[in-house]
Amino acid sequence: MAKEIWRKEYPFESRWHKLADGNRMHFVDVGAGEPVIMIHGNPTWSFYYRHLIQALSGTYRAVAIDHIGCGLSDKPQQFDYCLEQHIQNLLSLIESLDLSAIHFVVHDWGGAIGLGVASQIADRVKSLTILNTGAFPPPYIPWRIYSLRAPLLGTFAIRALNLFARPALSMAMYRNRLSDVARDGLLAPYDNWDNRVAVNGFVKDIPFSKSHRSHETLLGVETGLTKLAQKPVQIVWGMKDWCFNTTCLAKFKEYFPAASSLEIEDAGHYVLEDAPDQVIAGVQTFLGRLA
């Protein structure tokens, strides 16, 4: 992180939550009011939400986390990088901050993690904003991800050659090219073999088969969606996402038929990077109606 030009758009003071195992979980916590907790996926971090944090922090308490192994959090090399552990980590942080009336914003793996937590504390959930994600076993297998699942070659490609985080800079976009600051920020925490440990861990934790250890956990997350069915929900979707495509969007609409839906035809998976103004305006309007 030598150059750190990304700090131009990420001026937030760092805060830390120490987990029971001793690892430190980094998060941003700015503003006051009802909490909006933003949960990232792979291979992003709280930097992905930087513009939304700034837009909301004047009215809400904007909290954005970094999963263990991601962003500015600790990156232990011997750690159980699995869905259940990430869910427990997030629950621990929410309990430590004593959050209630929570507005969840989730993206990518943040969907399974965040919605997995939300269903366990449904009485403390005020709303859900769902951005290009999933919370159920994957309905299909993108070959570009499946090819990185090989135990040795896949790990070497991700950790030595950076063939997950770096290609995502272009493959997760459709409308726009990322700015130099955004490119630097998204890659900064993942600049060497050790620092890409969780990027690899997330890819290996995708349960492509029923025998995978996280398959049952993910089924539990899906079942838990019924506990959230009566909550206000907004779905914001980049329609040019080749990974979490319209099949996932349709599945969320089945679980949340009353949800409002903002479908951005020319945005990709990094919808907050591809169409920031539209997404932020949509989130602000949605939350404003609940005030």
Note the pLDDT tens digit of each residue in 126-177.
999 999 999 999 887 777 787 888 788 999 999 999 999 999 999 999 999 9
pLDDT the model gives residue 252: 98
Contact 66, 40 (CB under 8 A): yes
pLDDT the model gives residue 2: 46
**Number of neighbouring beta carbons within 10 Å of residue 167:** 12
CA 6 vs CA 22, 26, 185: distances in Å: 28, 17, 5
CA 41 vs CA 189, 227, 287: distances in Å: 14, 23, 22
pLDDT the model gives residue 145: 83
pLDDT the model gives residue 1: 44
Hey, what are 29's tokens? 């916590």
pLDDT the model gives residue 3: 63
Nearest to 232 by CA among 254, 205, 216, 256: 256
**Number of neighbouring beta carbons within 10 Å of residue 291:** 8
Mean pLDDT by 10 residues, the chain (291 residues): 81 98 98 98 98 98 98 98 98 98 98 98 98 92 77 93 96 96 98 98 93 96 97 98 96 97 98 98 98 88
Hey, what are 75's tokens? 């990156």
CATH of domain 5-290: 3.40.50.1820
Q: pTM of the prediction?
A: 0.96
